[in-house]
A and B are shown apart, each in its own frame.
Chain A
Amino acid sequence: MGCIEELKYETILSHASFKEVREYVKEHFKERYEVDPGFKIFDSYIIGIPPILVGIEGDAVVFPYTKPCHGTFLLRIECSDEVDRLRKKR
Chain B
Amino acid sequence: MDPADLSQEGSGARKKTALLLLGCPEVPVQMGIALYLANRLEKDGVSAVVAGNPSVIQLIRVSDPDQHYVKRVMNLEKAMADLIEGRMRPDLTVSFAHNDAGISYAATVRHVSASPLYLIVFGREAEALAGLAEFECEKIVERAVHNPAQLKKKIDKVFGWAASKS
Contacts and interface: CB of A to CB of B under 8 A. Distances in A.
Contacts of A70: 101
A28 interface: no
Interface residues of B, number: 26
B100 A71 contact: yes
Contacts of A2: 77
Interface string B40-79: 0000000000001101000000000000000000001100
Nearest to B78: A2
A48 B107 contact: yes
A66 B101 CA distance: 6
A72 B132 CA distance: 15
B50 to A, nearest CB: 13
A38 B23 contact: no
Contact of B53 (A17, A40, A47, A68): A68
Interface of A is mostly: loop
Interface string A1-41: 01000000000000001110000000000000000111010
B31 interface: no
Contacts of A45: 80-81, 84, 108
Interface in B87-127: 99-105, 107-108, 110-112
A89 interface: no
B108 A48 contact: yes
Contacts of A37: 107-108, 110-112
Contacts of B22: 68
Interface of A: 2, 17-19, 36-38, 40, 45-50, 66-72
5 contacts: A18-B103, A37-B107, A38-B84, A45-B80, A68-B52
